[in-house]
Chain A
Amino acid sequence: QLVQSGAEVKKPGASVKVSCKPSGDTFSTYGITWVRQAPGQGLEWLGWISPYDGNTTYAQRLQGRVTMTTDTSTSTAYMELRRLRSDDTALYYCACVDVSIYTFIQWGQGTLVTVSS
């Protein structure tokens, strides 16, 4: 189970930080990926953080605006998106990455981020 933080409303140019708390000792075993879904649209992979070394890889189109982190002391993952635009309005999901099979085995419930002036 992954539990995400609640919905956010932000103005263009602001930042948002979404949290994701897995149950159990997830970070030692699984990576965390972030995926978003704009209203009525498909899934877009945003990036992930490796369980082994904490290294991150981000989708090219978000490079420079997104940061993904994990806090092992609170067992929480975070995704921060800066310089928000209206087309960042979407449902943001976190998911566990099983690196042995390169897929996303368990998903959070999603966090709606609305960017509006």
Chain B
Amino acid sequence: QSALTHPASVSGSPGQSITISCTGTSSDVGTYTLVSWFQQHPGNAPKLIIYEDKKRPSGISNRFSGSMSGNTASLTISGLQAGDEAVYYCCSYAGNSTWVFGGGTRLTVL
């Protein structure tokens, strides 16, 4: 199972919007509407922020949104804040009770 593809890093200024892409294949992202996004701050465990491509768990800001097109999922963060600086991972269900992660994208808030 190959890892999903992320850009290594993105950056934006406070108040701006950024989008992080996550590209998979027709065996995972393209088949299942089951992409999740996790936020990981240094020294902390990952935290679920998006599931089923675009749904937010309770307590997650609506500044975080997810979308899907073909084999590519995207995470958009609007109204960037300093606290959004973290590494973001996508994760897709890949069938047969398996999952696959992306390599992670480091978000820098300038």
Give A contacts to B, CB under 8 Å.
33, 35, 42-45, 48, 50, 55, 57, 59-60, 93, 101-105, 107-110
Contact indicator A42/B3 (Cβ below 8 Å): yes
Contact indicator B45/A42 (Cβ below 8 Å): no
Supposing A42-B103, A101-B51, A101-B52 touch, asked if A107 and B46 sit within 8 A by C-beta, the answer is yes
Contact mask B48-85 → A, CB, 8 Å, 1/0? Answer: 10011001010000000000000000000000000000
What are 20 pairs between A and B in contact, CB < 8 Å? A42-B3, A42-B87, A42-B101, A43-B91, A43-B101, A44-B101, A45-B91, A48-B99, A57-B98, A60-B1, A101-B34, A103-B48, A103-B52, A104-B36, A104-B38, A104-B91, A105-B57, A107-B46, A108-B45, A109-B45
Contact indicator B97/A93 (Cβ below 8 Å): no
Which residue of the partner chain, among A45, A101, A108, contacts B99 with CB atoms under 8 Å? Answer: A45
Cβ of B30 under 8 Å from chain A: no
- Classify chain B's interface size: 20 to 34
Instruction: Report Cα–Cα, A60/B93, bound state, in Å.
Output: 15
Which residue of the partner chain, among A33, A59, A60, A105, contacts B48 with CB atoms under 8 Å? Answer: A105
Instruction: Report Cα–Cα, A108/B45, bound state, in Å.
Output: 7
Q: Which 7 A-B pairs have the closest CB atoms?
A: A57-B97, A107-B45, A42-B104, A103-B36, A103-B51, A43-B101, A102-B34
Cβ of B86 under 8 Å from chain A: no
CB-based nearest A residue for B55: A101
Give the secondary structure class of A's interface: strand
Contacts of B104 in A (CB 8 A): 42-43
Contacts of B102 in A (CB 8 A): 42
Contact indicator B1/A93 (Cβ below 8 Å): no
Contacts of B96 in A (CB 8 A): 57
Contact indicator A102/B32 (Cβ below 8 Å): yes
Instruction: Report Cα–Cα, A100/B29, bound state, in Å.
Output: 17
